Amino acid sequence: MWFWALFPLIELVVALQPLPPVPETNSSSNGLGFSVNTQSTRIYIDSAFANTKDANGLTLIPPSAYEFAETFRADISSLLGGNWTLERADRLQSTGIHLGSFRGDVGQFKYESGAATEEGYEIEVADGRVYIGGSGARGMFWGTRTLMQQLLIGNGSLVQGRTVDAPAYATRGFMLDAGRKWYSKDFLKELCSYASFFKMSEFHYHSSDNYPLNRGHNETWQDVFSHFSLYPEKNTELRGLIQRPNETLSRVDFEDFQQHCAQRGVTVIPEIEAPGHALAITKWKPELALAKKDLLNLSHPDSIPTVQAIWSEFLPWFQTKEVHIGADEYDSTLADDYINFVNEMADFVNSTSQKRVRIWGTYEPSENLTISKEVIVQHWQYGQSDPVELQNDGYQLINSEDWWAYMSLKNDHMPIMPAPYPQFYNITRTTSFANVPDWQWDPSLYNPVNITEQLKTSASGNKGAILAAWNDNGPDATTQLEAYYAMREGIPVMAARAWAGARGARIITNELSDSIALLVMHKQPSTIRLAANIWTL
């Protein structure tokens, strides 16, 4: 059969796991399961469920269940071969793969915070057919990711049984630094497809930044690399931000990128950095800079209006309920100015577009002002923010603690430790958090030093986690291929633990390497495969 011809090496696989792992299945070797070699290659979607769209995710362009089913049909055809078809049905057919709503109490599907989720699903295999039911359209779609992985692991066959699963956290994301290295639209789209295969839900797109001036380049700041990745179209004055128009995304490009990701359950979270890391702005308007030239002088009357003009241009582009305004590593002696900026920008973005804002956790020792509770804080380093304090003070927060989350591609500076950030995602820090053997990280675990100072798994403010791939050394450091390799194993491992949380299925570490090798081999983006083939010529 065609399946065996495509995957001759899979016969060697004995015991592997999907990523994220699924809860133990109520399975039986008795009775007829499902095989792509002997059963129908038809996909059916319940007519009553086909038009369902999720309301509680972050995307403003939620696909219908039918649109997700179309994506699944294309994916399974590409992954396994064969002539897979999709049609609506009013009742279960005797064979094939059936997509629909969860056939139980959807109230059982909650994040660890207690909030309801549309991302839960069931998979039932019986009598030569598969049923995938979601508590929402995304839940159904995530079930198709599990199914494809199980088919790869099972040589195209599944035993009879039923699995019920749901994520512990809504935010399961990855960040790519596109402010110091240009990435093509096609690469971004394929990276999104890759992450979606492992049930990632967010792509944090860091669109503007510069080579760090704190490495002795402040005197030559006008010659230092900076980049702004989005090309202004309506307000042409903003084109002063752009140094390399050929390395930008147009509105059409960015919409295509967002639509592609949304069709795979992933929301693009765009970030435009200010008032720090703002060299693209200060090169354009030098009068707005502080003595450290990549910091905006927030006391200048034109600084905040300039940042607001930038956001006014791009807010209509962004198909998401939350955006990131950066607000990272500003001068702590100007804490009041910084806090006023964050709060004013949060109000501006919300009043203009009804979106909430995220910021990086930043040390701001003001005795007079506080950051608005409407602002979501992305924690990245102790000394900049304290997750327990943020939770106790009523903030929503995201875990990007650099000890486990960060990699900096071909990086050679040492921001926090007597060693640079790793070049590749450090899997061991996820499977053995705080260097404690087999203590598997989850998004409630922030502190790798004082291991008793963690959030409760039920913490109401904890949205989840995002890993981060930085290009601190600028555009000459890495290729797109190398950026993919840096995250290739980190994405499935981190996604597995962010999905499972403390309550879900653990990674079986002695199967992890082989599981990644199998799943990555068959879901590697085509642009990556092409580049890899060129490199081996």
CA distance 481 to 465: 24
DSSP E strands, 64-136? 85-89, 96-101, 121-126, 129-134
Residue type, 259: Q
Output the six-digit token pair for 375: 């602002």
Cis peptide before 20 (omega within 30 of 0): yes
Q: At residue 531, does pLDDT exceed 70? A: no
CA distance 412 to 255: 35
Place of tokens 């601190």: 472
Closest by CA position to 391, among listed 465, 321, 458, 323: 458
- Number of residues in the chain: 537
Give the residue-averaged pLDDT of 260-275: 99
Active-site annotation holds for 329: yes
Of 174-188, 214-228, 408-422, the least confident:
408-422
Q: At residue 536, does pLDDT exceed 60? A: no
CA distance 436 to 442: 14
pTM above 0.85, yes or no: yes
Per-residue confidence (pLDDT) for residue 503, from 0 to 100: 97
Q: Which residues contact 424 (CB under 8 A, 6 or more apart)?
A: 407, 485, 486, 489, 490
The domain locations on the chain are: 2-165, 171-532
Give the residue-averaged pLDDT of 88-105: 95
- The CATH class, in words, for 2-165 is alpha beta
Q: Partners of 301 in the beta sheet?
A: none
**Res. 530 pLDDT band, cuts 50 70 90:** very low
**Res. 427 pLDDT band, cuts 50 70 90:** very high
Kindly name the residue from 322, 329, 401, 489 that is annotated as catalytic.
329
CA distance 247 to 382: 34
φ and ψ at 85, to 5 degrees? -120, 160
* CATH superfamily label, 171-532: Glycosidases (3.20.20.80)
Closest by CA position to 496, among listed 510, 485, 506, 509: 506
Which pLDDT tens digit goes with each residue over 389-417? Answer: 999 999 999 999 999 999 999 877 665 55
Q: Is 109 left (phi over 0), alpha (psi -120 to 50) or beta?
A: beta
CA distance 88 to 472: 50
